[in-house]
Amino acid sequence: MSIDERGAVCVLGTGLIGGSLLRAAVAAGYPAFGYNRSENGAEAASRAGFDVSVDLSAVLRRAASNDALVVIAVPMPAVEPILADIAALAPQCWLTDVVSVKGPVAEAVGKHGLTANYVGGHPMAGTSESGWAATDPELFRGAVWAVGVDEGTRVEPWSRVVRLALDCGSVVVPVLAAEHDQAVARISHLPHVLAEALAAAGAGGGELALGLAAGSFRDGTRVAGTAPDLVRAICEPNAGALERVLDETIDALVAARDSLRADGGLGKLVEQGYRGRVAYDERVAWEITGVTPGAPGWLDELRQAGRRGGVLRTV
């Protein structure tokens, strides 16, 4: 397949992320179809004109015969069982995923002997909603899509994943699985945990406190409105990295608390946080250019560029 052709895409799981991806892929001209476990979800997608079935075996056989790029878009707890089916029915298909951790998915992929076919992915997009009803073909526009560049990554699946991400309107950050997981512990999983803690503390103040709550509480607790099972499925597979950054955050809060107790001031936390937010506001997603996929050292060049804030805008 030439890089100008849009090969078939098979999305497994048509919830918020998978369903939005299916819609975005179709909108971008890909022949795309999908599987969903629940009949309600599959029917909703079908009624909207998309080719989604509850028959996983049939979907995977179709993927195999169409040389489709298979996208795993189920929550982490469902990844392992679905990989067993992929290994049995579509073992030659290129494979990616949109799960929020990369190490555990890569490990499960390896257990099923599919590592050579696989390139991890993670679009940094979402809302506190879930299910087909919340899907949006524009969900990925302007978003960042992490794509794996681990040792052994092959050019063809890598290019197909990057092309799909770009065609959905995202820019691509090349990243090692382990470094991805450490980074998202800080900027995705920790925000969930702190939002839950803040929401619990606010509600602990009863109706008076919730009645006085304004913008800072509303924004700080937004993601605590996500269904608890989904929060667990997003955060808990990254337990190790999340535990380390929680340690760091607890230390910072203890220092602020002790400082308040000692002299009534918040210590250095306020300046540190302000500098962090300014760094976020001023970050520049510069374009990575001059790296030829497959040329000697390409994966290492991409990794290093990703670490320095570089993104791919073309493939």
> Which residues ranging from 291 to 310 are in contact with a copy of itself (CB under 8 A)?
306-309
The residue assigned the tokens 């299910």 is: 131
| Minimum CB–partner distance for residue 127 and a copy of itself (Å) | 7
Question: Is there a contact between 112 and 87 (Cβ–Cβ < 8 Å)?
Answer: yes
Q: Quick one: three-class SS letters along 240-273? A: HHHHHHHHHHHHHHHHHHHHHHHHCCCCCHHHHH
* Residue 250 contacts a copy of itself per CB under 8 A: yes
The tokens of 192 are what?
Answer: 């969930």
- Rounded to whole angstroms, how far apart are CA atoms 247 and 294? 40
The tokens of 285 are what?
Answer: 């997603």
Choose between 228 and 296: whose C-beta lies nearer to a copy of itself.
228
Choose between 162 and 245: whose C-beta lies nearer to a copy of itself.
245
* Residue 175 contacts a copy of itself per CB under 8 A: yes
Question: Is there a contact between 34 and 68 (Cβ–Cβ < 8 Å)?
Answer: no
* Residue 141 contacts a copy of itself per CB under 8 A: no
- Rounded to whole angstroms, how far apart are CA atoms 63 and 120? 18
Q: Among 7-15, 109-117, 159-167, 248-256, which window interacts with a copy of itself (CB under 8 A)?
A: 248-256
Q: Helix axis angle, 103-111 relative to 177-184, nearest 10°?
A: 140
| Minimum CB–partner distance for residue 18 and a copy of itself (Å) | 17
- Rounded to whole angstroms, how far apart are CA atoms 23 and 30? 10
∠ CA(223), CA(224), CA(226), 5° rounding? 70
189-208 positions binding a copy of itself, by CB under 8 A: 190-208
Which of residues 58, 84, 116, 187 is near a copy of itself by CB under 8 A? 187
22-81 positions binding a copy of itself, by CB under 8 A: none
| Minimum CB–partner distance for residue 164 and a copy of itself (Å) | 18
Length, in residues, of the chain: 315
Q: How many residues bind a copy of itself (CB under 8 A)?
A: 99
252-291 positions binding a copy of itself, by CB under 8 A: 252-254, 256-257, 260-261, 264-266, 269-281, 283, 285
Which of residues 63, 173, 288, 302 is near a copy of itself by CB under 8 A? 173
| Minimum CB–partner distance for residue 128 and a copy of itself (Å) | 9
Alpha carbon of 65 to those of 10, 69, 90: distances in Å? 11, 11, 8
| Minimum CB–partner distance for residue 109 and a copy of itself (Å) | 20
| Minimum CB–partner distance for residue 61 and a copy of itself (Å) | 35
| Minimum CB–partner distance for residue 281 and a copy of itself (Å) | 7
CB-CB neighbours of 110 under 10 Å: 13
- Rounded to whole angstroms, how far apart are CA atoms 84 and 18? 19
Question: Is there a contact between 185 and 244 (Cβ–Cβ < 8 Å)?
Answer: yes
Choose between 114 and 288: whose C-beta lies nearer to a copy of itself.
288
Choose between 87 and 266: whose C-beta lies nearer to a copy of itself.
266
- Rounded to whole angstroms, how far apart are CA atoms 308 and 99? 23
Who's near 152: CB < 8 A, 6+ residues apart? Answer: 115, 116
| Minimum CB–partner distance for residue 99 and a copy of itself (Å) | 14
Query: Pattern 213-242, binding to a copy of itself, x per CB under 8 A?
Result: xxxxxxxxxxxxxxxx--xx--xx--x--x
Choose between 35 and 140: whose C-beta lies nearer to a copy of itself.
140
77-136 positions binding a copy of itself, by CB under 8 A: 124-127
